[in-house]
Amino acid sequence: MLEMIAFDADDTLWHNEVHYRDTQAQFLHILSPWAKPERVNAVLNEIEMGNLALYGYGVKAFTLSMLETAVKVSGARIEGEAVGQILALGRDMLQQEVTLLPGVEETLNILANDYPLMVITKGDILDQTNKVKRSGLEHYFRRVEVVSDKTPLTYQEVLSKNQIDPARFVMVGNSIRSDVLPVLALGGSAVHIPADTTWEHEMVSDFDDAQDGFYTLNTMKELPELLTRLVSTI
């Protein structure tokens, strides 16, 4: 028996990283009077990583990091118009249409008959909750949990709060770092479905894919069959 199948949201249920990349391309254009793309990308990445412990994940954090980058690479000569454009990039991301990944809706529709489903995602609580609503998928999920980061501790809190036994818990997501490693550490099962584009920060170079409880699929459509197999072994 499986007590809960949990899904990551961004780049597992719907496109997300592609919007960050599109936004970053526009940001490079706004900053083109001040610095070459390579330098802007490098500074932005460094600033984002430096802000992670303070800002956390999500669009608001990214927007603030873009603004800090703009001040830095322009030598504080950036002007109000560009600041307004960067703020608008952030606002656009928060209102972006939610585009589901292939097979997501049909798979959830199948699984919801047999298992309790939930979402576990990190980022801005309002933005992530709003995307679940805009996605049209909300009715499939018993719970939507937005966490500040995906660590064994935050998963532990979510599982304990929802009375879920880790041994009967399956997490499905595109990130080895966030959706797989912390869940395996708790004794749960993790299904990795790689996305077309993944944020470098989520990459793990030395992951051992022969671990117990780890599964990898090419597409969400293969999930019902895998879960049926899993149920027979747990």
Q: Applying CB under 8 A, which residues contact a second copy?
A: 54-56, 60-61, 63-64, 67-68, 70-71, 74-81, 83-84, 87, 90-91, 94-95, 124-127, 129, 143, 146-149, 161-162
101: DSSP letter: P
Shortest distance, position 90 Cβ to a second copy, whole Å: 7
Residue among 157 and 209 whose Cβ is closer to a second copy: 157
Residue among 88 and 234 whose Cβ is closer to a second copy: 88
Residue among 144 and 176 whose Cβ is closer to a second copy: 144
Residue among 147 and 184 whose Cβ is closer to a second copy: 147
Distance CA 58, CA 142 (A): 23
Shortest distance, position 204 Cβ to a second copy, whole Å: 22
Residue among 128 and 174 whose Cβ is closer to a second copy: 128
The four Cα atoms 208, 213, 218, 219 give a dihedral, to 10 degrees, of: -150
Q: DSSP for 154-181, please give it.
A: HHHHHHHHTT--GGGEEEEES-IIIIIH
Shortest distance, position 84 Cβ to a second copy, whole Å: 5
Shortest distance, position 113 Cβ to a second copy, whole Å: 22
C-alpha distances in Å from residue 30, one per residue of 36, 67, 86, 134, 169 = 11, 11, 8, 29, 45
Distance CA 51, CA 49 (A): 5
Residue among 71 and 204 whose Cβ is closer to a second copy: 71
Q: Hey, is 135 helix, strand or coil?
A: helix
Shortest distance, position 71 Cβ to a second copy, whole Å: 5
Shortest distance, position 54 Cβ to a second copy, whole Å: 5
Neighbour count for residue 13 (Cβ, 10 Å):
28
Q: Hey, is 114 helix, strand or coil?
A: coil
118: phi then psi, degrees, rounded to nearest 5: -145, 170
